[in-house]
Amino acid sequence: MLKIVNDFDPYGLEPGSADGAPADEYSPESTAMARHLIDNGKITRSDIDSVWLRWFGEPLSTMDGIRFDQFVCDLNAVIGSVP
Is pLDDT above 90 for 28? Answer: yes
Q: Residue 82: which pLDDT band, with cuts at 50, 70 and 90? A: low
**What is the reported pTM?**
0.89
Q: Which residues of 40-67 are buried (b: 16+ CB within 10 A; e: fewer)?
A: eeebebebbbbbbeeeeeebbbeeeeee
Looking at residue 21, its pLDDT comes to 97
pLDDT in tens, 41-57: 999 999 999 999 999 99
Looking at residue 26, its pLDDT comes to 97
State the average pLDDT for the chain.
94
